[in-house]
Structure 1
C-alpha cells in the first residue's frame, strides 16, 4: 500500500469518526433494536420489515413494555375495582333436574375451560388490554412478539436480524383450592437468520401479592422456563403454578380473601451480539377465598377457590331451550320485570328495577350473614303478595320476587318498591331457586359480589304499520321507515309476526337509499317467518300480497 493511499485512508476514517460514522462493534452498543408486542393490524407489515432487516420501531409501536409493582392495597379498594369492571362474561349452566323423590336438584358442576390456544386466539378480546375472561375459571391473552437484534450498523443506520412468534397464556382458576396455574405456548416461530436459533428466550410468570403477604406463592416445581429458540421449536409450552396462603378470618375479611396480580415477562438474550431485552405482557388479577358457604344442596361443598374476579358475571337463563322449560315461568317474570318495571306489581310511579345487562348490577347478600335483612325481604314480599293477590286462587302457585331476596336490591333492602312480584307455579319457583343457589356456589359469587341477569327469550325490537298496497306514487313502499337496532347479544335470528290484518299476508323488506335504487333486504316474509339478523335504519315494508287491500301491523322479535 502506497504512503499516499495509507494517508488518504486515515483522512477518510477520521472524517467518518468526526461525523458519527463508527465501526459496527461500536455502533452495536448504541443501536436500539428492542422487543415489541405487535398489534394485530400491524403484524403483516412488521413481518415484512423484519424479513428485510429494517427497523420496526419507526412504525410507532411501543417497545420494551415493563410492568411496575404496586404493593399491598386495602381489601375494599380491590373489591371496588372488581365491581367497577366493564368486562362481563355469560354463565353457561346446565338445567336443574328432578330426583326420583320429585325434588329439584342442581346440575353437576362443570368447568367450561378454554381448551386450546386456537380457541383463545379466535376470540376478539384475546389480544386486548384486558385479555379474554371466558368465565371465573378461564382467562387467556395472546399476542405476537417480535425482537430485533442490530447486527450491522453504519452510524445511526443498522441492519437487523429478528425473531417473531405468537405468545399465548391461558390461566386456570379452581373451585376446590387456593391455586391457579398458567399454561403458555409460543407458536409460529420465525427467525431471519439461523444463528438466532441459538439465542435464548426465558418466559417467567411474575406475580405480586395485593392484599396479604402470602397471596402469591410460586410453586418451586414449576419455575420459569429458559430455552434456546431451537429448543422452543421442539417443545413450545410450559406451566407455572401459584398458591395463596389463607389469612386468619376477621370481621373485615370473613371469607379469608386474598388477591394477586400476575403477568408474563419474556426475556430474549443473544450473547454473541451482547443483546438482551425484556417485555412484559398485561396484568391479570386473581382472587382467592375460603368462604365456608359455597355449598350446594344436598352434599356438594366448595370450601376454597381461585377466580379471575375482574369481570362481572351475567346469570344467563335460556328459557327458549326445551331443556330449560322448568324455568320458563320464572324467567319470563324476571325479563318482564327488567323490561317493563312500570307494569309490574306493586304499582309505583317511576319504578326502576335493576339487574339487566348494561343496567345497575345486583349484589349478592349471603342470607345467614345478613339474616335480619334477608328476613325483611322475605317478610315484605309475603305481605305484598297477600295484598296484591288476595282475590286470586293460589293453589299450586308461589309468589316469585325479582330482584331476588338474596340480593341487596330485594323487596325491602332496595329502600323502595323497586321490585316485582308475580304468581308462578310452585314447580318453576322451586326449580329457579335451587338453580340460583347452585350457581352462587359454582361461580363463587361471594357476599357483596355484583352480577347481572339476562333471560334469553324473544325480545320485540320494532313495530311497523303497513298499508295493504304500495303507498300513493310508490312502486313498492307500503310503510314508513323503521329501524332495527339494539339486538340482544344472545339473538341469532329475527322473527316477523303479523299481529292484525290478513292472516296470510306476504311482504318484503327494503332499504331507503337516497338518490339510488332501494335494495330488497328480505323477501317473501309471512307470519312468524325467521330470518338472519339484520340491522340498520331506513327500512320499510314493501310489495304486500294477499291483503285484500287491508292494512296490517308487523312486530319484529330478536330470538335466541
Structure 2
C-alpha cells in the first residue's frame, strides 16, 4: 500500500514507562513493511516491538519519521505487468467479464507482487497493494530520561482498485475509479486505546493533463467516497472503507476534443491522533498511477486504467482450429503464434531478407505501439501503407506457399502498429524490410486479427500505447 503516516506524540514526562527497554525510536517514527513473510505473520512484529521497543533486530528501520532511512521497501517492476490470453476474445467477441476484478483480499494476498511498492496489477482495470504498518506511540521525557514505547498500532492493510469502463454516474465527461480499503487490525495497545484516539484513512491524488489543458484539480480528485475517521477500536471491529477518484474532461468525447488524457498519482494516507500527543505532517509513500481518457474511437469512449504497466496479449501455438467443435467451428491462432515466435527467435531467417533484422514486441523494453485506424484519416492512411508494402512483397513470388488454397499472407509486426511494414516511409530508411511475412491458414490469420482488435478495445490500448505480444506453447 502507498502510504503517509502521522502518529506523533508530544513529550509527557509524567506518563508511566511502557514495559520493555527504552527505545531508540523518535516521536513520529513509523514502519511500512512489505516483506510477505512478515505480512503473513504480524505476531513476529508484535513480539519484537514488545521485547525491544523497535524492529532493529529484524533489520527494519522506520520508513517515515525522524529515524527514516531511504530504500527500505523493495521495488519490483514485475508487479507492473500482466498478460491476457487471446482465448478471452474468441471470434473477436467482448468477454462477459471485461474487467476481471480482483476477488477480494484473499486473491490479492495470494500474489506476492501485491507487497511491493508498485502493487500487483492483475490487468489494466484491477490493482491491489498490501502492507503491514506498525505505528508506535513514542513518549520522550526527562524522567525517566529517554524515549519509551507507550503502545502501538499494527495492521495489515489491503487496498484494491477498480478501473472503470464508461462514465461516472452516466456522464459523458466524468471518468472514475473506485477503491476498497481493508484494515485488518492486529494489535492496538497502550495510548492508542485512549478515549478520543482516531485514525483517518483517505486517498489523495495529484493529477496532470497529458496535453497541459484543464486544471490540475479536475484531472484527478475525490468523488463521493472520501474514506473514514474512526477510533482504532472501531477500525478493529470494522476495517472497511471506500474511496473513489474522478476526472472531468473539458469536453464531451470527439475527434476535435482529442483523447483528453489525465494522469493521476494516488496514495493512501493515514492520520493518527492521540489525546496529549502533538501532530506532524504526514509522510508520503510510493505512488500508484491511473490514467483517465475520453478516446472517442474506442467502443466505450470513457474509461480509466492502471497505467504503470505494459500490457501483453498472448497467442498460443497449441491453440488450433477445430472445425468439428459443437455449435460452431472453433477458430484458433496456432499458425499466427508460430509465425511470431519463429520470426522473433530467428529474424535472419524471415522474409523479406535483411541483414541484422530485429523484430520488436517480445519485451516491455522493446514494445509495439498501437496505430488505431479509427482515430484519423492519417492513421488510416499509415495502416493502408503498412498493408500495401506487405501485399506487394507477398505478390512478388518470393514467399513460399503463394496465395489461395485457404492461405493468407500474415505479417508481423501488425499493420495496426507504428512498427508495421511501412515504418521506413515515416521514420527512416533503416526500418525498410524490418518485418516478417509468411503464408498461413487464412482462418487462423483472420481470427488472430479479430482477437487483437477486441483486446485493443477491451483493455483500452490507445494511440501510441506500448504493448507486448507474447507467445505460448
SS class of match (1:346): coil
Matched, 1:292 2:296: yes
Aligned to 2:313: 315
Asked if 1:327 is matched to 2:336, the reply is: no
Check conservation: 2:198, 2:232, Cα contact below 8 A: yes
Any gaps of 5 or more consecutive residues in structure 2?
A: 1-10, 19-24, 67-76, 168-174, 322-329, 425-430
Other structure's SS at 1:347 match: coil
Match of 2:380 in 1: 371
Q: Distance in 2 between matches of 1:318 and 1:283?
A: 35
Q: Could you say if the C-alpha distance between residues 32 and 317 of structure 1 is closer, same or farther in structure 2, counting changes exceeding 3 Å? A: same
| CA distance in structure 2 between the partners assigned to 1:436 and 1:365 by the alignment | 12
Higher relative contact order (CA 8 A, sep 6+): 2
Pick closer, same or farther for the CA change 1:122–1:252 going to 2, 3 Å: farther
* Structure 1 unaligned blocks of 5 or more: 1-20, 67-83, 99-103, 295-300, 458-560
Say if 1:53 and 1:161, in contact at 8 Å, map to a contact too. Answer: no
1:402-434 CA distance string (max 9 Å, x none):
000010111111531111111112211111111
- Please state how far the C-alpha of 1:52 moved relative to its aligned partner: 3.2
- 1:91 and 2:84 correspond: yes
Spell out structure 1 runs of 4+ moving beyond 6 A: 249-253
Once the two structures are superposed, residues 238-279 of structure 1 have per-residue CA deviations (whole angstroms, 9 ceiling, x without a partner) of: 101111111247999721111111100001111144567745
Q: Do 1:264 and 1:282's aligned partners in 2 also have CA atoms closer than 8 Å?
A: no
2:176 and 2:245 in contact (8 A); partners too: yes
Superimposed CA distance per residue, residues 369-420 of structure 1 (whole angstroms, 9 cap, x where no aligned partner):
2122111111000000001248735222111100000101111115311111
Quickly say closer, same or farther: Cα 1:105–1:190, change in 2 above 3 A.
closer
* Residue of 222, 247, 267 corresponding to 2:271: 267
Q: Structure 2: how far apart are the matches of 1:451 and 1:432?
A: 16
Q: Distance in 2 between matches of 1:168 and 1:429?
A: 43
Q: Distance in 2 between matches of 1:433 and 1:171?
A: 31
What SS does the corresponding residue of 1:52 show, helix, strand or coil? Answer: helix
8 Å CA contact 2:207–2:220 kept in 1: the answer is yes
Alpha-carbon separation, structure 2, partners of 1:362 and 1:32:
50
Tell me the equivalent position of 1:256: 260
Give 1:353 shift: 0.9
- SS in structure 2 of the partner of residue 408 of structure 1: coil
Structure 2: distance between partners of 1:257 and 1:446: 10
CA distance in 2: counterparts of 1:65 and 1:168, whole angstroms: 22
Question: What residue in structure 2 maps to residue 166 of structure 1?
Answer: 156
Greater radius of gyration (CA): 1
Q: Secondary structure at the residue paired with 2:314?
A: strand
Alignment partner, residue 47 of structure 1: 46
Aligned match of 1:156 in 146, 162, 168?
146
Instruction: Kindly indicate which of the two structures has a greater share of residues assigned to strand.
Output: 1
Alpha-carbon separation, structure 1, partners of 2:332 and 2:26: 68
Which of residues 173, 186, 189 in structure 2 aligns to 1:189? 186
2:109 is aligned to 121
Would you say 1:144 and 2:132 are equivalent positions? yes
Pairwise CA RMSD: 3.2
Q: Cα 1:117–1:129, aligned 2, differ >3 Å: closer, same or farther?
A: same
Look up the match of 1:101: none
Partner of residue 35, structure 1 = 30
Deviation, structure 1 residue 90: 0.9
